């Protein structure tokens, strides 16, 4: 073993707090940035904020319901009343709805207490995640009392409430809606899984009925609601504020950042004389002055980066801005980063949590960035366009002979010149919530 001293030269990347702040600011939405600026003003005595007068401004709000966006103009004057403020919410409404029915039942107070306990244990879809045995133990009641309480609960509206699983939920509805179709309940009890997989021939053979009869049973079951109480709980409305807008004026696209409500940042003049002075107090002031400068610089860099990315979008995606996602071109983070001479990770952070308003709608900015698929002509097609073609092809297919993933891949290659593997087709199909060909098959 040899001992000695060796000299090595190494390079380490150290991320300063200021650099971390600049990176964080890139990822903030405009609303998040607004909150961050206020927090910095509280922490840093050198920062003074000049609030904007918003009493005459309009902000475009977007309410996302499911996958659709609905726009509305919001006047901040006192006399404006939004119709959305009158939208009712059904949160907690299921318990109240069921308890109201219990009041009218001719049952004892003890039975009402048991029933009330069960109602408060029902989940948002109307299912009761408790077995009879669990109810007996938790409430210290007999098996007969537990069974009676379950029957009372399942006799309430909406039909199917109080079921312990999907099969029981569908059975409750089938027995009420189709009492004369005994095979419907029988298939639910014994062949529900096979039916969901559309293995109709096997059901037909085992029950000794025709495929058309199996199809009829399937159609009956399709009318039943697997989540009978889902209407009583709706997700809260989320308001999305566009961070950047693209408008078409006189044939030209105009870009604007929707940050007019951000306060102006100034330095507190009372501390200017202490900057770069001597003593601990001056060091404290100087350090906060540097934070003030870095904050202003980071905000401006964020603004500049977002504008550069949007300018690239306008320059390269005019067909999309005119016609929508069916005309979007393949565009990757790497391409944009190289064009605006920034790192790919910077572009990724800059589009994160941002909403863009365009002539064809408002959506998250990252939706514009898609993977590329090669075509026979040497050009590239976006994954979004391929998904649209795939969805259109499946919508128009013969449901008696639905296309397999391989046939779809062959069709896209032959008809549109898009080179795509069967696995990629399956992946896109699953992302679109489209069933496999075996489960899409229908009988006429």
The per-residue pLDDT for range 277-287, each reduced to its tens digit, is 777 778 888 88
Which pLDDT score, from 0 to 100, does residue 2 have? 60
Q: Tell me what pLDDT residue 378 has.
A: 63
Task: Find all residues with CB under 8 Å of 136, minimum gap 6, and list them.
Answer: 142, 143, 145, 146
Q: Which residues of the chain have pLDDT under 70?
A: 1-19, 53-92, 233-239, 372, 374-379, 443-444
Residues in CB range of 378: below 8 A, 6 or more apart: none
Q: What is the DSSP letter of 263?
A: P
The pLDDT of residue 1: 55
State how far the Cα of 395 lies from the Cα of 418, in Å rounded to an integer: 19
What pLDDT does 234 receive? 61
Which pLDDT does position 271 carry in this prediction? 82
Torsion of CA 402, 408, 414, 418, to 10 degrees: 160
Distance CA 369, CA 334 (A): 10
Task: Output the six-digit token pair for 246.
Answer: 């693209």
Q: Give rounded-to-5 percent helix, strand, coil for the chain.
A: 50, 10, 35
**Cβ distance 32 to 353 under 8 Å?**
yes
| Token pair belonging to 281 | 């107090």
Tokens 């639910």 -> residue: 188
**DSSP state letter for 236:** P
The model's pLDDT over 230-254, given as tens digits with 9 standing for 90+, comes to 877 666 666 678 999 999 988 899 9
Tell me the pTM: 0.60
Q: In whole angstroms, give the CA distance from residue 351 to residue 347.
A: 6
What's phi and psi for 381, nearest 5 deg? -120, 145
- Looking at residue 82, what is its pLDDT? 44
């Amino acid at each position: 073993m040899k001992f000695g001293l060796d000299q090595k030269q190494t390079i380490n990347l150290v991320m300063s707090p200021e650099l971390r702040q600049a990176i964080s600011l890139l990822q903030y939405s405009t609303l998040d940035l607004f909150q961050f600026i206020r927090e910095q003003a509280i922490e840093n005595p050198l920062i003074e904020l000049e609030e904007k007068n918003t009493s005459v401004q309009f902000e475009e709000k977007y309410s996302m319901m499911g996958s659709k966006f609905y726009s509305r103009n919001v006047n901040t004057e006192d006399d404006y009343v939004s119709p959305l403020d009158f939208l009712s919410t059904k949160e907690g409404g299921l318990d109240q709805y069921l308890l109201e029915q219990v009041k009218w039942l001719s049952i004892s107070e003890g039975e009402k207490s048991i029933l009330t306990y069960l109602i408060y244990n029902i989940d948002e879809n109307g299912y009761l995640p408790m077995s009879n045995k669990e109810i007996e133990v938790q409430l210290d009641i007999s098996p007969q009392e537990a069974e009676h309480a379950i029957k009372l609960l399942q006799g309430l509206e909406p039909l199917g409430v109080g079921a312990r699983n999907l099969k029981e939920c569908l059975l409750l509805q089938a027995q009420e809606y189709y009492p004369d179709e005994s095979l419907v309940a029988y298939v639910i009890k014994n062949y529900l899984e096979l039916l969901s997989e559309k293995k109709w021939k096997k059901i037909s053979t085992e029950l000794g009925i025709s495929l058309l009869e199996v199809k009829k049973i399937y159609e009956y079951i399709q009318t039943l609601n697997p989540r009978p109480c889902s209407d009583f709980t709706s997700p809260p409305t989320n308001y999305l504020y566009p961070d950047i807008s693209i408008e078409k004026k006189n044939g030209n696209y105009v870009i604007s950042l929707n940050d007019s409500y951000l306060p102006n940042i100034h330095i507190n003049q009372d501390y200017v004389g202490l900057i770069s002075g001597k003593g601990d107090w001056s060091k404290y002031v100087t350090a906060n002055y540097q934070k003030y400068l870095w904050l202003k610089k980071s905000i401006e860099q964020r603004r500049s980066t977002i504008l550069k990315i949007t300018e690239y979008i306008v320059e390269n995606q005019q067909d999309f801005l005119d016609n929508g996602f069916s005309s979007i071109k393949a565009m990757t983070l790497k391409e944009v980063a190289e064009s605006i001479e920034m790192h790919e990770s910077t572009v990724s952070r800059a589009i994160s949590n941002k909403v863009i308003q365009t002539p064809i709608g408002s959506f998250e900015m990252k939706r514009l960035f898609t993977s590329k698929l090669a075509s026979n002509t040497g050009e590239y097609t976006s994954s979004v366009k391929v998904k649209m073609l795939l969805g259109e092809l499946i919508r128009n297919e013969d449901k008696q002979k639905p296309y397999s993933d391989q046939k779809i891949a062959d069709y896209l290659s032959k008809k549109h010149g898009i080179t795509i593997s069967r696995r990629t087709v399956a992946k896109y199909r699953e992302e679109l919530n489209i069933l496999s060909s075996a489960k899409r098959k229908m009988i006429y």
